[in-house]
């Protein structure tokens, strides 16, 4: 594979040869055979990176975590039980402060045009992967910006005292205190294992930045080609430590426009489509299947609490009261979502039915604006994400509905959107006033909602785009993590939800299902319980021809008055 690279200050991307170049000159039989052994997935956006340690974006995780990498442990089954992965087993001491993992001894890393491994996975790779996150002096810590959003939001470095190599295939985490969510965090898509040997090679070549844009993992697929805004192509990892993937080639056709994805699906230009629209049309087709999974997620409207007028909680409360959430759910989700009373879905064991909901009250909203000093209203921006996600199928449409609601209380709204990676980058820099976004849990522990979304730590380093920080709230989260008493934990989280609903850094709108459409010839599970996707067990039952069209990314801001 011939590779040409572009370095960005914040995000690294790789540009390579087009997908169809590899099959030019093939006869019809060759192309049919290739189609039968391939899956084309119409995805909604370009990944920010090929290392999920660096981003909490679902688009990035979908294009990297389960396809390219493995973690030490995973969640499996409908009961979401922890199961072995790269670690064949593990042991936790009674005090919960020492966790020892016993690694498999037969795990191969990817062999690609840019790296040939000389050994199998061992403890050095685990040390390299986590010390990169933990140690600010690590040679790779600052590569790609030094931000490890998920781990920083859960205060990983404050919890882990050190990691010990017991022998080549035994590793031990020593914690400063017991933490009831530690194993759950290691089972997320972010806790992937990288190749220490590859890191050494890149250091010798002075190309350390390539570790995140030319990925090497142990997963069922390996990266072959990437064209930003157009396509990603993966080849099967034939030396995979488990049974080989059933398909030889996996192609992501990057199609941000939902109508384009529908057109390609109906025309058989993609086998599987993310976040489909026109559910009735799809359901009526005998050659297509519409499926869904109930996700632990929340779609929300957030405020930048560091920018006026949203540094005033009365203004945040007023805007929230003026928004008709039920109308948003009826229009945007078409009945396929539950109205959110808080950031925590009702399916979570920590959900408290007594949590008060702010409700819809434009009269009171107007009154609060007067008290806050904005009797004549004001002008504000809403940043609407450009991609379709389960927690918000159409952010721009939702922004327009909110725009109409706020006009009734004298607030004028401008709607702004960017290309996805640009949107996330500028959001993390705090350029926005308000925004539409969401969160999908990475594991069933409720802390995965509370800490990454709204903690003080994630304000500085992670996914808290509201930049809200409340010490009382953080103290409650700390207490919840240091006890294994479920009743006490639930009480702490109930108090935390009350603080959120009083301070209103964000308005929780909906908890939704995630939909996906596929051809009836595509078999195997793709959707994961916690929002991710995996093509490891997917295959085609018959022969279908496919074509691809590529699209260039649009990085200019769009303003919709």
3-state secondary structure labels for all residues of 233-251:
EEEECCCCCCCCCCCCEEE
As a whole number of angstroms, the distance between CA 143 and CA 121 comes to 22
Give the contacts of 2 (CB within 8 A, at least 6 positions apart).
Answer: 16, 17
As a whole number of angstroms, the distance between CA 96 and CA 180 comes to 8
Share of the chain above pLDDT 70, in %: 89
Compare 488 and 196 and report the one with higher pLDDT.
Answer: 196
Residue-wise pLDDT for 534-547, tens only, equals 999 999 986 433 43
| DSSP letter for each residue of 21-87 | GGTTT--HHHHHHHHHTEEEEEESS--S-S-GGG---HHHHHTTHHHH--BSEEEETTTTEEEESSE
Compare 23 and 127 and report the one with higher pLDDT.
Answer: 127
Which pairing describes strands 249-254 and 297-303: parallel, antiparallel, or unpaired?
unpaired
In this predicted structure, the answer to whether residue 354 has a pLDDT above a threshold of 90 is: no
HSE-up of residue 196 (Cα within 13 Å, Cβ side): 15
As a whole number of angstroms, the distance between CA 349 and CA 357 comes to 19
- Is residue 387 a contact partner of residue 256, using CB atoms and an 8 Å limit? yes
Q: Read off the tokens for 52.
A: 């999920």
Residue-wise pLDDT for 389-445, tens only, equals 889 999 999 999 999 999 999 999 999 999 988 998 999 999 999 999 999 887 788
**pLDDT for the residue 389:** 85
Q: Which of the four pLDDT bands, split at 50, 70 and 90, describes residue 14?
A: very low
In this predicted structure, the answer to whether residue 269 has a pLDDT above a threshold of 50 is: yes
* Domains contained in the chain, CATH given: 1-47+219-287+520-553 (3.40.190.10), 70-214 (3.90.76.10), 297-512 (3.10.105.10)
In this predicted structure, the answer to whether residue 15 has a pLDDT above a threshold of 70 is: no
**pLDDT for the residue 20:** 34
Q: What is the dihedral of CA 141, 143, 149, 153, to 10 degrees?
A: 20
**pLDDT for the residue 462:** 65
**pLDDT for the residue 79:** 63
Q: Write the CA distances from 218 to 5, 77, 210, 242, integer angstroms.
A: 23, 22, 17, 10
Residue-wise pLDDT for 114-158, tens only, equals 999 999 999 999 999 999 999 999 999 999 999 998 898 888 999
As a whole number of angstroms, the distance between CA 194 and CA 49 comes to 14
**pLDDT for the residue 33:** 58
Q: Would you tell me how many other CB atoms lie within 10 Å of the CB of residue 473? A: 22
Q: Which of the four pLDDT bands, split at 50, 70 and 90, describes residue 108?
A: very high
**pLDDT for the residue 501:** 92
Mean pLDDT over each residue of the chain, to the nearest integer: 88
**pLDDT for the residue 457:** 85
In this predicted structure, the answer to whether residue 193 has a pLDDT above a threshold of 80 is: yes
Q: Which of the four pLDDT bands, split at 50, 70 and 90, describes residue 26?
A: very low
**pLDDT for the residue 353:** 85
Q: Which of the four pLDDT bands, split at 50, 70 and 90, describes residue 36?
A: confident
**pLDDT for the residue 533:** 93
- Is residue 154 a contact partner of residue 452, using CB atoms and an 8 Å limit? yes
**pLDDT for the residue 346:** 85
In this predicted structure, the answer to whether residue 172 has a pLDDT above a threshold of 70 is: yes
- Is residue 192 a contact partner of residue 150, using CB atoms and an 8 Å limit? no
In this predicted structure, the answer to whether residue 481 has a pLDDT above a threshold of 90 is: no
pLDDT, average across residues 107-115 = 97
**pLDDT for the residue 560:** 52
In this predicted structure, the answer to whether residue 520 has a pLDDT above a threshold of 90 is: yes
In this predicted structure, the answer to whether residue 3 has a pLDDT above a threshold of 60 is: no
Compare 76 and 551 and report the one with higher pLDDT.
Answer: 76
As a whole number of angstroms, the distance between CA 189 and CA 65 comes to 5
pLDDT, average across residues 181-191 = 92
**pLDDT for the residue 58:** 85
Compare 448 and 246 and report the one with higher pLDDT.
Answer: 246
pLDDT, average across residues 376-392 = 93
In this predicted structure, the answer to whether residue 548 has a pLDDT above a threshold of 80 is: no
Share of the chain above pLDDT 90, in %: 69
In this predicted structure, the answer to whether residue 495 has a pLDDT above a threshold of 80 is: yes
Compare 544 and 162 and report the one with higher pLDDT.
Answer: 162
HSE-up of residue 273 (Cα within 13 Å, Cβ side): 29
Cα 327 from chain centroid (whole Å): 27
What sign does the CA torsion over 108, 110, 112, 114 have?
negative
- Is residue 373 a contact partner of residue 341, using CB atoms and an 8 Å limit? no
**pLDDT for the residue 77:** 72
Angle, helices 447-454 vs 486-503, to 10°: value is: 30
Query: Full-prediction pTM beyond 0.75?
Result: no
pLDDT, average across residues 202-207 = 97
The residue whose two tokens read 């409360």 is 317
Give the contacts of 374 (CB within 8 A, at least 6 positions apart).
Answer: 309, 315, 318
| Choice among 146-150, 273-277, 335-339 with the minimum mean pLDDT | 335-339
The residue whose two tokens read 């999974």 is 293
**pLDDT for the residue 7:** 38
Cα 367 from chain centroid (whole Å): 38
């Amino acid at each position: 594979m011939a590779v040409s690279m572009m370095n960005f200050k914040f995000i690294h991307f790789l540009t390579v040869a087009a997908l169809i170049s590899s099959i030019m000159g093939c006869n019809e039989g060759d192309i049919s055979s290739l189609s039968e052994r391939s899956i084309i997935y119409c995805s909604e956006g370009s990944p920010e990176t090929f290392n999920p340690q660096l981003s909490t974006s679902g688009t990035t995780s979908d294009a990297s975590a389960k396809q390219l990498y493995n973690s030490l442990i995973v969640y499996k089954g409908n009961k979401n039980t922890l199961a072995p992965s790269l670690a064949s087993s593990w042991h936790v001491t009674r005090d919960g402060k020492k966790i020892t993992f016993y690694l498999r001894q037969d795990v191969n890393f990817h062999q690609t045009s840019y790296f040939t491994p000389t050994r199998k996975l061992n403890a050095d790779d685990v040390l390299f992967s986590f010390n990169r996150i933990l140690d600010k002096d690590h040679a790779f810590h600052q590569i790609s910006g030094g931000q490890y959003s998920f781990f920083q939001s859960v205060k990983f470095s404050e919890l882990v005292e050190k990691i010990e190599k017991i022998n080549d295939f035994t590793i031990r985490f020593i914690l400063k205190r017991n933490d009831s969510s530690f194993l759950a965090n290691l089972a997320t898509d972010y806790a992937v294992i990288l190749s220490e040997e590859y890191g050494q090679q890149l250091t010798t070549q002075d190309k350390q930045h390539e570790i995140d844009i030319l990925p090497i993992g142990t997963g069922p697929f390996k990266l072959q080609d990437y064209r930003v805004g157009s396509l990603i192509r993966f080849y099967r990892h034939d030396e995979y430590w488990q049974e080989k993937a059933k398909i030889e080639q996996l192609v992501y056709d990057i199609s941000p426009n939902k109508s384009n994805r529908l057109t390609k699906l109906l025309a058989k230009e993609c086998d599987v489509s993310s976040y489909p629209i026109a559910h009735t049309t799809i359901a009526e087709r005998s050659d297509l299947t519409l499926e869904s999974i109930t996700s632990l997620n929340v779609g929300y409207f957030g405020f930048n609490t560091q920018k006026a007028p949203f540094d005033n909680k009365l203004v945040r409360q007023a805007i929230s009261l003026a928004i008709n959430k039920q109308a948003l759910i009826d229009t945007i989700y078409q009945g396929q979502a539950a109205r959110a009373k808080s950031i925590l879905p009702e399916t979570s064991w920590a959900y408290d039915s007594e949590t008060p909901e702010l409700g819809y009250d434009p009269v009171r909203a107007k009154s609060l604006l007067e008290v806050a000093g904005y009797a004549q209203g004001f002008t504000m921006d809403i940043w609407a994400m450009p991609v379709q996600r389960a927690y918000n199928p159409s952010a721009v449409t939702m922004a327009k509905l909110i725009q109409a609601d706020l006009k009734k209380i004298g607030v004028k709204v401008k709607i702004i959107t960017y290309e996805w990676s640009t949107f996330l980058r500028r959001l993390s820099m705090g350029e926005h006033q308000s925004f539409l976004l969401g969160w999908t849990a990475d594991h069933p522990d409720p802390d995965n909602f509370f800490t990454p979304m709204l903690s003080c730590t994630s304000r500085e380093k992670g996914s808290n785009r509201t930049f809200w920080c409340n010490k009382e709230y953080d103290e409650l989260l700390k207490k919840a993590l240091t006890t294994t008493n479920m009743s006490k934990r639930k009480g702490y989280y109930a108090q935390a939800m009350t603080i959120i609903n009083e301070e209103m850094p964000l308005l929780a709108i909906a908890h939704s299902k995630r939909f996906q459409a596929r051809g009836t010839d595509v078999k195997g599970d793709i959707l994961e319980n916690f929002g991710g996707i995996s093509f490891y067990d997917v295959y085609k039952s018959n022969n279908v021809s496919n074509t691809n069209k590529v699209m260039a990314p649009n990085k200019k801001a769009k303003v919709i008055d």
